[in-house]
Structure 1
Amino acid sequence: MEQLLGLGSLLSLVFVLIVAVFAGLVKGVVGFAMPMILISGLTLVIPPEQALAALILPTLLTNTWQAFRQGIKSAVRSVVEFRWFLLSGLVLLVLSAQLVRVLDPRVLYGLIGGPVALFSIMQLAGWKPKLGARTVRLDTAIGSFAGFIGGLSGVWGPPTVAYLTATNIPKQDQMRAQGVIYGLGAVALAGAHLQTGVLRAETLPLTLVILPCALLGLWLGFRVQDRIPQVVFRRATLVVLTIAGLNLLRRAVLG
């Protein structure tokens, strides 16, 4: 079984499944971070390209659940409201995804770890930017940057979360918007990597195996979010993401 999934041992498989549950749990609580946790955790036991393929389906389906948790009409409203962010992000995501097969793994580690560590450390330090009202220009600029990073690494959460937080969007609206933005981005990511060959018959079994674990974690996270103050769990998540991002940067520098 482990050989079929591209893993070296049963212990590696157990580790991957635990990472998937934890990633889903954190996402259910704070609305983001699943790709970052998955790519940071999975690359400890498998190559970054295989880890990127493994996170595609869990990211797609968990974001679909999150986007539609408050109903179809609310999700459609978020699509309309964030149309320029989505359009620019999807275009850059598809374009940058073409670079995955030609980049050195250490470059990819740096591109993932840098934004993760920077965002997490700044948030833990108390950085809370205030941008005022959203504009088409801001939506397009931040969406393009998030899409570019997402196409390369499967991680487009930090710039999106920072932007939504800075514009003071209410919690439930932000959770739904994140689900819509990440969900549509995951559709584009899946399509792009079907073309690049990252998502193929050899990498599909692993993403299917971790999918139920990610969904279980998301369900648990939603239950926690409904009962426990979110600020405590978000801070804990940022600590984990800081460690994960710094570890990826270490691997980018030291190999």
Structure 2
Amino acid sequence: MTDLLPFVLLIAGTFLFAGLVKGVIGLGLPTVSMGLLGLAMPPVEAAAMLLVPSLVTNIWQLLAGPRFGALLRRLWPMMVGVVVGTLAGSGIIAGTAAHAATAGLGAALVLYAVVGLMKLRLCIPPGAERWAGPLVGAVTGLVTGATGVFVIPAVPYLGSLGLERDDLVQALGLSFTVSTFALAGGLALHGALPLAITGTSLLALLPALAGMALGGWLRARVRPETFRLCFFLGLLALGGELLWRGVA
């Protein structure tokens, strides 16, 4: 019992906080949960743990917008790239190279934090989407398969398409939902989706949803830019720690 309590507190606290971040800024649940869980367990176990909370919260985000069909028709080549890349890269996180996976997770978090702090604003012309979408999807999938992090380069790319705010939130939900399904498929393909961890992932859904509700309440009371700055600085420190741990 004494060994179980710290584990339960770790899972509950991680997903409560990750849900809070997502509730405030609309993303970050897989990123935060992978980073924090990666300090206490192998990345492949952390990836399996986040599947149910990530899937449910992202489907919620996906279905909240009004233009699902139009976005799917526009972004389906990118989504195909995400699936192919994730299945191709999932052997890394599911393999025996735990240090490499930890270092990769840390590097992905650091890169995402730097991009966020620099507030880079790219602009992809409509004519380039035909080839840029599948390429970005494939690279995002490879990063997802190797580290369990869905955001690089998908988030900056989607932000460069000139979508309205509601459409962007829904597009992010679509990308994260597809990434979650693809990651689950990749882990299952390599026999790295144990039933026990999947059950724990189901229990982690409750604090994740509670965190999202709390984040929605907090969003009306704290400037999103202030929270975003703290979020990216925290990710930078967390990613640096994981990167150092993976290469040391």
Per-residue deviation, 1:118: 1.8
Q: What is aligned with 2:21? A: 26
Q: 174, 193, 203: which one pairs with 2:168?
A: 174
How far, CA to CA, are the matches of 2:161 and 2:44 in structure 1?
34
Deviations 1:103-149 (Å, cap 9, x if unpaired)?
41110012111122022123313433333445111111111100111
Q: What is aligned with 2:207? A: 213
Is 1:50–1:203's contact at 8 Å kept on the other side of the alignment?
yes
Compare 47-56 and 57-66 and name the one that shifted more: 47-56
Q: What is aligned with 1:57? A: 52
Residue correspondence of structure 1 range 1-255 to structure 2 within 5 A: 8-71=3-66, 74-133=67-126, 135-225=129-219, 228-254=222-248
How far, CA to CA, are the matches of 2:221 and 2:63 in structure 1?
20
How far, CA to CA, are the matches of 1:81 and 1:225 in structure 2?
30
How far, CA to CA, are the matches of 2:194 and 2:119 in structure 1?
42
Deviations 1:41-72 (Å, cap 9, x if unpaired)?
1122222221111011111111001101125x
Distance 1:199 1:100, change over 3 A: same
Per-residue deviation, 1:155: 0.8
Is 2:81–2:141's contact at 8 Å kept on the other side of the alignment?
yes
Per-residue deviation, 1:226: 5.5
How far, CA to CA, are the matches of 2:154 and 2:194 in structure 1?
28
Is 2:140–2:154's contact at 8 Å kept on the other side of the alignment?
yes
Q: CA RMSD in A?
A: 2.0
What residue ranges of structure 1 are gaps of 5+ in the alignment? 3-7
How far, CA to CA, are the matches of 2:59 and 2:48 in structure 1?
18
Is 1:97–1:151's contact at 8 Å kept on the other side of the alignment?
yes
Is 1:129–1:166's contact at 8 Å kept on the other side of the alignment?
yes
Deviations 1:21-43 (Å, cap 9, x if unpaired)?
11111112222221111111112
What residue ranges of structure 2 are gaps of 5+ in the alignment? none
How far, CA to CA, are the matches of 2:68 and 2:145 in structure 1?
23
Per-residue deviation, 1:220: 2.5
Q: What is aligned with 1:5? A: none
Per-residue deviation, 1:9: 4.1
Q: TM-score, normalised by structure 1?
A: 0.88
Is 2:108–2:147's contact at 8 Å kept on the other side of the alignment?
no
